[in-house]
Structure 1
């Protein structure tokens, strides 16, 4: 990405089920769904949203091999999307084990996201 225009940050949690993809998707939603970029088309080449480049950085605490990158990319509707997976986030106790919620243990996964947008 030659021209960085915006950086949005967020976090996501999977309280039950220990699903790092679910926590990552929630982190991206948290980062992008409370913002509006009404002038972005005017900044992109040919005023085309598909010329946008989006780099997602995810700080993931564990189970990186289980992270579904293609599912993560689906949260970005336009442009070329890349994903970087970094060490970070947190694993901590949810305080309760609920088998009917898919829990394997009482842990919850917390993922941090940085969504960089430009061209």
Structure 2
């Protein structure tokens, strides 16, 4: 990406079930779903959303290899989307193990997302 136009950030949590992709999806939703980019096309080459570059960075505490990056890419409707999974976020106790919620242990996963949009 040559020019970053803006960065959106978000946090997502999976309290039960230890599903790191679910926490990552929630972090991306938190970052993008309350934003509007009405002038973005004017800043992109040829005025096309297809020329938008999107870098999704996910800070994940555990199970990094289990993040389904294709699910994350599908969340971004336009542009060339890249997903990078790095160490970070937090794994902490939820205080309870709920078998009906598919808990293997009492950990909840917290993921941070930074989404760079540019050209």
Alignment partner of 1:89 is 2:111: no
Matched residue, 1:34: 34
User: Where in structure 1 are there 5+ consecutive unaligned residues?
Assistant: none
For normalisation by structure 1, the TM-score amounts to 0.97
Matched residue, 1:17: 17
For normalisation by structure 2, the TM-score amounts to 0.97
Q: Give the Cα separation in 2 of the matches to 1:106 and 1:23.
A: 15
Q: Give the Cα separation in 1 of the matches to 2:32 and 2:66.
A: 23
Shift of 1:110: 0.2
Matched residue, 2:70: 70
When the two chains are superposed, the root-mean-square deviation of aligned CA atoms in Å is 0.7
Matched residue, 1:56: 56
Q: Secondary structure of the equivalent of 1:74?
A: helix
| Aligned length in residues | 119
Alignment partner of 1:116 is 2:116: yes
Q: Secondary structure of the equivalent of 1:100?
A: helix
Please list every run of at least 4 consecutive aligned residues from structure 1 whose deviation after the TM superposition is greater than 6 angstroms: none
